[in-house]
Chain A
């Protein structure tokens, strides 16, 4: 039996997956433009499988940041996935292999679609269908983008560097719709502008992240 709630979930999952997958093309193309080869690009989509962290890797690699800064930035951006996993734990249920696969597919979109459902069956379907569809689509489109990117030549001619900036803004946008996060974003942006000319490559992003956390903790103390 397919309830209307489940049908709505399926359509939401596939809609989200379609949009995200298309965007995988720009990841693939930008990755090769940043100096990664085809397999380095594909390994990120296959194993890291988290858009924000993947873009951080290629963005920082392009600036010549050292490996440790790249790993730290990608890791910190991935912290939220760990919290999504806690939230999804009861949706996924018991079973070692099932939880292992669920862990790999725990990302912004699969969690968001699952949380948006009210019935527990629809939550389960939303999580797994969104995760699976994005995993397949994102990887296929990454490969397409990496091949296409190689054929494009200088990425600047096509505005691919600007596309990366817009991609980060697109990831940021839904998170700064209230005042406090918007203020954190503004401070992080200013700190980055100030530290880019002075701090070694890769460090400005981490300094900005640290400042953001300090800001949040201070704000919390003031409200406590």
Chain B
């Protein structure tokens, strides 16, 4: 599958899911179990993506500047810093550690 095909199909799936929500009777989707599964699915996927983005290079688990940068992000989230500040500070932390040669 080419990257373009992937992007177009994935976009259609995500957009289609949103539109589907306007067709489904409210009683079905408001069911507490559906609601809970959706919440859990989102949390599990995001947590897993945090790990792959932080510690994976291909199929290897690697500890490098990204982990320190993530810790900086976590501290900022803890003190309720705005989203954009968290993202920029994490980037700056990783860039600084690499520039000084303290981490890969």
Contacts and interface: CB of A to CB of B under 8 A. Distances in A.
A161 B58 contact: no
Interface in A144-194: 156-173, 175-176, 181, 184-189, 191-193
B72 to A, nearest CB: 8
Nearest to B36: A216
A48 B15 contact: yes
A56 interface: yes
B47 A74 contact: no
- Number of chain A interface residues as a range: 35 or more
Contacts of B46: 52, 77, 168, 171-172, 175, 185
Contacts of B15: 47-49, 103-104
A170 B53 CA distance: 13
Contacts of B61: 193, 196-197
Interface string B20-38: 1110101011100111111
Interface in B41-74: 41-56, 58-61, 65-66, 69-70, 72-74
Contact of B43 (A90, A172, A220): A172
Interface stretch (A1-9, A58-66, A116-124, A132-140): A58-66
Interface residues of B, number: 78
Contacts of B11: 43-44, 47-48
Contacts of B26: 86, 89-90
Given A82-B21, A85-B18, A168-B49, A213 B95 contact: no
A177 to B, nearest CB: 11
22 contacts: A53-B10, A57-B10, A74-B14, A76-B41, A82-B18, A82-B24, A83-B34, A83-B35, A84-B18, A88-B21, A92-B22, A104-B15, A106-B18, A159-B92, A162-B90, A165-B70, A176-B43, A176-B47, A188-B51, A197-B59, A209-B44, A212-B47
B10 A70 contact: yes
Contact of A161 (B59, B77, B94): B94
Contacts of B44: 184-185, 187-188, 208-209, 211-213
Contacts of B45: 52, 56, 73, 76-77, 188, 205, 208-209, 212
B49 A83 contact: no
B58 A166 contact: no
A215 to B, nearest CB: 7
A79 B42 contact: yes
